[in-house]
Amino acid sequence: FSNNCIYTHKILQVNYTLYDIHWCQDSMNPWSLANAMTLAQDADSLSSDSGRHPFLYAQILGIFHADIVHNVPTSSTQMTQMEFIWVSWYQLVNRSKGGFAAGHLHRVELVPKSDLKAFGFLDPDEVIRSVHLIPHLHMG
């Protein structure tokens, strides 16, 4: 890191295209419990009948950037800006099937904090759009 600094941001803005080719923009603020959707790592290999979910969901905890200096002997040392999001991952609730056939949306829950995969970093360019998650309170 240049100057050993990481800079924080208040808002992440994501541009996306609607089904009717209109352009829209989502603004996500970690202080308002913003949630984001991204493609699953193996989404390219998923087929519609595989039964595997093509998306990952995350709660945004922080939005950052850092000035990075990559020291490689074969190239010049240039400073570049790296943007990243600190997230808490959601996981699909396996006891609940979702989708068109089930007649309701998929259900998600935060990965337990004790799990090593509960938190991670995400490239802002990988965020498809924000998602609004509705609590299902009577399920606990």
- The more confidently predicted of residues 123 and 2 is 123
Place of tokens 């209109």: 22
What are the boundaries of each domain within the chain? 2-43+53-132
Q: Looking at the predicted structure, is the pLDDT value of residue 45 above 50? A: no
The hierarchical CATH code for the domain 2-43+53-132 is: 2.30.30
pLDDT digits (tens, 9 = 90+) for 46-96: 445 556 788 899 999 999 999 988 777 776 677 889 999 999 999 988 766
Cα distances (angstroms) measured from residue 10 to each of 29, 34, 100: 6, 11, 36
Q: Determine the average pLDDT of the residues in 99-109.
A: 78
Distance CA 10, CA 81 (A): 17
